[in-house]
A and B are shown apart, each in its own frame.
Chain A
Amino acid sequence: MLTYFANPARFMRVSGVVLPYLVVATVLVLAVGLYQALVVAPPDYQQGGSVRIMFVHVPAAWMALLVYLVVAVASAVALVWRHPLAEIAAQAAAPLGAAFTLVCLVTGSLWGRPMWGTWWAWDARMTSVLVLFFLYLGYIALVNAFDDMGRGARAGSVLALVGVVNLPIIKFSVDWWNTLHQSGSVLRMGGPTIDVSMLVPLLIMAIGYLLLFKTLLLIRMRTALNERKARALRLSAPQLRAAAAPPDATPVLR
Chain B
Amino acid sequence: MSGLANWAAMGGYAGFVWPAYAVALGVLGGIAAQSWRRYRVSIRELDRLQR
Query: B11 near A106 (CB under 8 angstroms)?
Result: no
Chain A interface (Cβ < 8 Å from any Cβ of B): 38-39, 43, 48-50, 52-53, 56-57, 60, 95-96, 99-100, 102-103, 106-107, 110-111, 113-114, 212, 215-216, 219-220, 222-223, 226-227, 229-230, 233-234, 237
The residues of A that contact B14 with a CB separation of less than 8 Å are: 49
Query: B39 near A219 (CB under 8 angstroms)?
Result: yes
The residues of A that contact B35 with a CB separation of less than 8 Å are: 216, 219-220, 223
With contacts A50-B16, A53-B17 known, what are 8 further pairs, Cβ within 8 A?
A39-B7, A49-B9, A103-B23, A106-B23, A107-B20, A110-B20, A111-B16, A220-B39
Residue from B20, B28, B38 within 8 A of A53 (CB atoms): B20
Query: B28 near A48 (CB under 8 angstroms)?
Result: no
Chain B interface (Cβ < 8 Å from any Cβ of A): 7, 9-14, 16-17, 19-21, 23-24, 27-28, 30-32, 35-36, 38-39, 42-43, 45-46, 49-50
The residues of A that contact B49 with a CB separation of less than 8 Å are: 230, 233-234, 237
B6 to chain A, nearest CB (A): 10
B11 to chain A, nearest CB (A): 3
* A99-B31, A111-B16 known; A49 vs B23 contact (CB < 8 Å): no
